[in-house]
Chain A
């Protein structure tokens, strides 16, 4: 529709707008355009970063908070994947399995994750078990239904071709079904990890004693705006990092994507 711009121009324009926003943000703070206490300036956020990186925040170090958040998100995600992928594969290959279990997955999938946090906290208390359980329940239906959809969409001809060449069920699964389904399963995993990452922060805000969500919540009670903004920035960068990591893993491992 219009002229393309080069990668370098794009990078340049991007850094211009980010720099502009940071300068504007600093100016709003320096010239007291908004009441003090409402917005910490970039300089104050950097100072908070240095302070927290050195001395930690209320007893936990920054590394511990980041680690706690990531560990919970990845732990819940892993449990969801370990349960969701086999179930999805089974449902995809056996229509009685899918008739028996898919309604549970389809009920869980549109349910906002935090709604079952209340039940989980009643059952398991407010500790890490409830949080990891919550994240597993967040990731599981997304992964299971993506896997089911992936298996169902494998072209029948491919399986029939393998059958007519004398492949047994095991070989068909290993050499036909799994490679054809993996790209879509991987997309499901990416969506599930993003959902788990969003949910972990909400869970830490509600009931936590460490993690980045807790840090932000605690900072808000002490009106530490610099720490809140720092937490938001770290979470945004972590989210972008996780997504990039999974994208490159996808590209490296599923090199046949788009070339079936």
Chain B
């Protein structure tokens, strides 16, 4: 259904962005919206600059970012590795699958933050409960992805390898694993999104550092310039994490689609 071909689409996108920015500037500079609720463009700029140069309450901006990334890295890393191993086992053995499935199916739709308070009771308020929380958020997602990846390997390929005399270990290493890796990476991208969202929530609910805590604390002091700058930072970091995984996927699963 294409009718108009005259103007390129990116012009429309630029125009839409300009409209939004101009509306924002007019509303805040014109005094329509108090700067306690939404910063003016120059306040946002100076607030962001201030964060970058002076940090926020005890940590430099890099420190907050680093702490958040460390939590994501550990929770996502351990959760994805163990989840994938469990998922591979579940895919290969229906017995293990039947034993583990009830727990995975229970954990997966469970709101991640529900068990944060329990983890705090168990592990105190330091880094451990947050990392365990992110681990538990990543585990079921990657387990299901790996299991489905193994199950969806075409039987014809497995039979072909078998008839050529491959052992079970060889079939797993050279047939099943390479075919399943695509889905494992799809699961990993899904899980990093969930882990990252959970991290921000966990830092807001029980934290004293990290970018999630930063915007919560800035909100308490009505520093809307820090809040908006922080939200933009969170968005950029989220997109960067996703891009990083896509990059790793292209590197490792270079045969995808062929």
Contacts and interface: CB of A to CB of B under 8 A. Distances in A.
Interface of A: 1-5, 9-14, 16-18, 21, 38, 93-96, 98-104, 107, 110-119, 121-123, 159, 169, 194, 197-202, 205-206, 212-213, 216-217, 219-220, 223, 225, 228-229, 231-232, 235-237, 239-240, 242-243
Contacts of B164: none
B12 A115 contact: no
B12 A13 contact: no
Contacts of A194: 109
Interface stretch (B41-49, B192-200, B249-257): B192-200
Contacts of B115: 232
Contacts, number: 189
A4 B94 contact: yes
B248 interface: no
B99 interface: yes
10 contacts: A5-B98, A11-B98, A18-B102, A114-B201, A114-B212, A118-B227, A228-B121, A235-B114, A239-B108, A240-B109
B111 A10 contact: no
B13 to A, nearest CB: 5
B86 to A, nearest CB: 13
Interface residues of B, number: 74
A125 B112 CA distance: 25
Given A11-B98, A17-B98, A118-B216, 6 more contacts: A21-B103, A94-B1, A99-B12, A112-B201, A115-B215, A206-B205
B9 A95 contact: yes
B13 A110 contact: no
A206 B121 contact: no
Nearest to B193: A110
Contacts of B113: 198, 201-202, 205, 213
B52 interface: no
Nearest to A98: B9
Interface centre among A101, A201, A219 (most CB of B within 10 A): A201
Contact of A239 (B9, B110, B193): B110
